[in-house]
Amino acid sequence: MIVSLLYKVTRKLLSVPSMLLRSEMVKDVELLVLRHENAVLRRQLAGPVRYEPADRFWFAALAGLVDRRRWREVFPVTPGTLLAWHRRLIARKWDYSARRHTGRPPTPAATKSLVLRLAKKNPRWGHRRIQGELARLGHRIAHSTIWQILHDAGIDPAPRRCGPTWREFLTAQAQGIIAADFLHLDTVRGRRLYALAFLEHDTRRLHITGVTARPTQEWTTQQARNLAADLGTPMESLCFLLRDRDGKYSQTFDTVFQADDLRIIEGAPQAPRMNAHCERVIGTIRRELLDHILITGEAHARHVLKTYEHHYNRHRPHQARDQLSPETQQHPAAVQDLDTRRVHRTRILGGLINEYRQAA
């Protein structure tokens, strides 16, 4: 743009004296052309003659002051070359290719990331549903662009995406699921004891209802009644009881929960992963407690398990709850300065488990 403007101004300045003194000006122009040609030749004595953009600019500007019939005699190039230079210079004035972008503007990387995030977290959403959600968030984007982003990422349209996994299903249904399972432990004298544990999937709250050496169906049913009485109103928010096919569960056991409108879900035979939450908490009890203590009898086992249940529900952090314990609703409001506040340790079960709190 600047070169074109400079060329135009030069032509105007050179054309003014030519109109006043046409004959004398032509001679001067010829001399200017010859001088410039001489300067170009001096600059390139060692090799072939090459005309730089400034040379072309100068010859093209002087060409308008010389009769076309004398161009071949005055200029060191052919008239065709001179006219080509002039056309190229004028064409550059109207060339906007460097100032415009063809096609659609590229989609920002952050928008692409958000589209993929919405598609993965909501497998039933198609590209038009995602477009509507983005519009609500203030991102205007064509549905065809969203389709292309999903296609490039290898994400199929919503109807053909895979259904929810067990993890996704249990997470969605966690608020209404309580699971039951037996754990066993051996006393110092080798006597086998059994404990019945219930775990709420949503809050991860643990309930160990009792310990016995003979877990009959009647005893198991009584533990179900005790749990229903302890939970009270929270039982109304539960929808499913998940258990295995152990013979210690009877129809009466199921009836206790069905009376509160709970549906009994039995796991497949030899498929402990279908009751993975209970299996995991039982493994935690073994690793953190039972593998490090000797049980003397039923009363001792009942005391140890109840103490651990209290620790598990009120203090122990859980990854599934953002490092909160089952009965804690939110993190502390502010982080205390360790230079001014001391941390107090509470020993549980003789120091087998430690709890830490800010000292008052």
Residue that is written with structure tokens 């087998």 in the block: 352
Q: How far apart are CA 166 and CA 177, in angstroms?
A: 13
Give the 3-state DSSP-derived string for the chain, with helices as H, strands as E and coil as C: CHHHHHHHHHHHHHHHHHHHCHHHHHHHHHHHHHHHHHHHHHHCCCCCCCCCHHHHHHHHHHHCCCCHHHHHHHCCCCHHHHHHHHHHHHHHHCCCHHHCCCCCCCCCHHHHHHHHHHHHHCCCCCHHHHHHHHHHCCCCCCHHHHHHHHHHCCCCCHHHCCCCCHHHHHHHHHHHEEEEEEEEEEECCCCEEEEEEEEECCCCCEEEEEEECCCCHHHHHHHHHHHHHHHCHHHHHCCEEEECCCCCCCHHHHHHHHCCCCEEEECCCCCHHHHHHHHHHHHHHHHHCHHHCCECCHHHHHHHHHHHHHHHHHCCCEHHHCCECCCCCCCCCCCCCCCCCCEEEEEECCCCEEEEEECC
- What is residue 34's predicted lDDT score, i.e. its pLDDT? 65
What would the two tokens of residue 273 be?
A: 């992963």
Per-residue pLDDT of the chain in tens (360 residues, 90 and over written 9): 555 556 665 655 555 555 444 556 666 666 676 666 666 665 665 556 667 777 777 677 777 667 777 666 667 667 677 677 777 777 777 777 766 666 677 888 888 999 999 888 887 788 888 888 888 888 888 888 988 998 898 887 776 666 666 666 667 777 888 999 999 999 999 999 999 999 998 889 999 999 999 999 999 999 999 999 888 777 778 889 999 999 999 999 999 999 988 999 998 888 888 898 899 999 999 999 999 999 999 999 999 999 999 999 998 888 878 888 888 877 775 666 666 777 788 899 988 888 888 776
- Given a contact cutoff of 8 angstroms between Cβ atoms, the answer to whether 40 and 55 are in contact is yes
Please give the pLDDT value at position 309.
Answer: 95
pLDDT value for 210: 93
For residues 201 and 178, the answer to whether their CB atoms sit within 8 Å is yes
pTM: 0.56
